[in-house]
């Protein structure tokens, strides 16, 4: 009886398999933050973002750019450093239940990656289309670029890097080498950021009309395909989770 009581106590004290609170708070972080960013664009895009030589442009947009650069480098360093520093050095000897719990946490990270990719590749990228087809650009650092290229892209790179690092440092499934499609799904979209170099160079050189389907933009397309690498990650995860659950579902 005493043993049973102890066992029940241990069960109730144990961390839940899926930390729903983290899942909701993490999602809210992206939604609320990007809601604020969109509000900022709406207010200061038209009032201070049309002429890059104006003093208010420096105040509201260039300062935004400098601050986000510092915050992004710091966040990446701290987050990735923390995940690496606290890695499990005996990852192959964890219990099946702990492994299942870590898969749940891994998927919490991947849900964050989904939010980050959505805002970066969909929301702010197409938004850039309507801004530049409407407003004639006079700088590489336009209000939509400061948000799209230099905020939303770094955020999904940081999130994707965190997902990959978490899987590599805490899950036995990923200890047999480097998962190729996981690399594709994180490094491919990452390459969209360096491709901005080509994009800006082209825009400056040709000062072209704002066709969104211009071949100059095809680099973004090519690296955007890499998001499909998630299919390989899903297949690996389904295999690993099935192994953990199969005997109990049979």
Partner 1 sequence: MSASQSAVRSRAEAVKVSRTFDWLILFTLFFVVLGGYHIHYMLTGGDWDFWTDWKDRRLWVTVAPIVSITFPAAVQACLWWRYRLPFGAVVCVLGLLLGEWINRYLNFWGWTYFPVNFCFPSNLVPGAILLDVVLLMSNSFVATAVVGGLTYGLIFYPGNWPIIAPLHVPVEYNGMMMTIADLQGYHYVRTGTPEYIRMVEKGTLRTFGKDVAPVSAFFSGFVSILIYFLWHFFGKWFASTKFVESV
User: What's the min distance (Å) between Cβ of 81 and partner 1?
Assistant: 21
**DSSP H helical segments within 14-62, as ranges?**
20-48, 55-57
Nearer to partner 1, 73 or 245 (CB): 245
Residue 239: is it exposed, middle or buried by C-beta count within 10 angstroms (0-12/13-18/19+)? exposed
Interactions with partner 1, residue window 217-236 (CB under 8 A): 217-218, 220-221, 224-232, 234-236
Count of residues of this chain found to bind partner 1 when the rule CB under 8 A is applied: 80
Q: Which stretch binds partner 1 (CB under 8 A): 54-62, 70-78, 80-88, 185-193?
A: 185-193
Q: Which of 80, 107, 141, 150 binds partner 1 (CB under 8 A)?
A: 107
Task: Tell me whether residue 59 or residue 133 sits nearer to partner 1 (CB atom).
Answer: 133
Give CA–CA dist 239/250, Å, rounded: 15
Angstrom distance (rounded) from CA 28 to CA 68: 20
Q: Which is nearer to partner 1, 170 or 179 (CB)?
A: 179
- How far apart CA 209 and CA 125 sit, in angstroms, is 18
Residues 118-177 that bind partner 1 (CB under 8 A): 118, 120-123, 125-127, 129-137, 176-177
Closest distance of CB 48 from partner 1, Å:
14
Q: Is 193 in the site for partner 1 (CB under 8 A)?
A: no
Dist CA 146 CA 140 (whole Å): 9
Nearest residue to 104 (alpha-carbon basis) of 10, 8, 228, 15: 15
Site string for partner 1, 25-64 (x = CB under 8 A): -------------x--xx--x-------------------
User: What value does the CA radius of gyration of the chain take, rounded to a whole number of Å?
Assistant: 22
With CB under 8 A as the contact rule, the residue among 76, 183, 191, 196 that binds partner 1 is 183
**Interaction of residue 18 with partner 1, rule CB under 8 A:** yes
Residue 41 CB contacts under 8 Å (≥ 6 apart), including other chains? 143, 144, 147
User: Which residue in 37, 61, 99, 171 binds partner 1 (CB under 8 A)?
Assistant: 99
Residues 137 and 51: beta-carbon distance below 8 Å:
no
């Amino acid at each position: 009886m005493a043993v049973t009581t102890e066992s029940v106590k241990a069960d109730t004290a144990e961390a839940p398999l899926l930390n729903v609170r983290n899942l909701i708070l993490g999602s809210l972080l992206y939604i609320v933050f990007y809601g604020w960013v969109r509000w900022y664009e709406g207010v200061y895009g038209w009032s201070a973002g049309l002429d890059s030589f104006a003093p208010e442009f420096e105040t509201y947009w260039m300062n935004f750019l400098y601050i986000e650069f510092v915050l992004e480098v710091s966040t990446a360093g701290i987050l990735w450093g923390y995940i690496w520093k606290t890695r499990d050095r005996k990852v192959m000897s964890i219990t099946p239940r702990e492994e299942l719990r870590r898969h749940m946490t891994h998927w919490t990270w991947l849900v964050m990656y989904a939010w980050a990719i959505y805002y970066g590749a969909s929301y702010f990228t197409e938004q850039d289309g309507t801004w530049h087809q409407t407003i004639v650009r006079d700088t590489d650092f336009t209000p939509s670029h400061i948000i799209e290229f230099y905020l939303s892209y770094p955020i999904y790179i940081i999130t994707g890097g965190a997902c990959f690092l978490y899987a590599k440092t805490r899950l036995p499934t990923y200890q047999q080498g480097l998962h190729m499609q996981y690399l594709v799904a994180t490094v491919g979209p990452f390459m969209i950021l360096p491709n901005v170099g080509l994009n800006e160079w082209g825009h400056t050189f040709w000062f072209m009309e704002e066709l969104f389907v211009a071949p100059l933009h095809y680099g973004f397309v090519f690296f955007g395909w890499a998001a499909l690498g998630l299919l390989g990650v899903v297949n690996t995860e389904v295999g690993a989770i099935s192994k953990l659950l199969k005997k109990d579902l049979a």
